[in-house]
Amino acid sequence: MNKNDIRQGIEIVRGVRSDPKFLGKGDCYEANLQLAIEMGDAGYFPYLCHGILTAAPFYKHMEPGTRFMHAWVEVKHEIHGWTVCDASLCAGTEIPFTMHSRKMFYEQMKPDAVVEMPWNYAMQLANRHGRAGHWDLHPEHNKEEVL
């Protein structure tokens, strides 16, 4: 895939939205897909991850221990090593995100059934499905208790 194909694909993906069955449950699929694309276009090679997290005790908006589907971005940083970026579209046009060490994120959130995708492959999946995510990538992702 050359740079022009990628740029054209970015414009297509920017218009897709998350699967309607997830509306009201957050914007992680859309926000993190867009963040991965922007990071990829900037010359990094991020991975978009979909998986099941377990709410940590410090979570204010959900009962600790609750399992839920989530999307996030992982990228290797020159100084800090593998880093998790977790984005939200709640603040307008710029994509705000938090950064965590991958080790800390995995210890606190206990990811399970994780599917890691190179950003350009995630972009192809978004184009194919016509939405930013949930793409039924793992059988555990469709269990009622995590949706």
Q: 100-109 pLDDT, tens per residue? A: 899 999 999 9
Average pLDDT over residues 128-146: 83
What span, in angstroms and rounded, lies between the C-alpha atoms of 29 and 69?
10
Question: Per residue in 13-60, pLDDT tens?
Answer: 444 444 444 444 578 898 999 999 999 999 999 999 999 999 988 877
Band (pLDDT 50/70/90 cuts) for residue 115 is very high
Report phi then psi at 69, rounded to 5.
-75, 145
Q: pLDDT category, 91, cuts 50, 70, 90?
A: low
CA distance to 24, 35, 76, 77, 92, per residue, from 89 (Å): 13, 10, 23, 23, 6
- Give me the DSSP letters along the chain: --HHHHHHHHHHHHT-B--GGGTTS--HHHHHHHHHHHHHHTT---EEEEEEEE--TT-SSS-TT-EEEEEEEEEEETTTEEEEEEE--TTSSS--EEEEEHHHHHHHH--EEEEEEEHHHHHHHHHHHTBSS----SGGGG-GGG-
**What's the pTM value of the predicted model, to 2 decimals?**
0.80
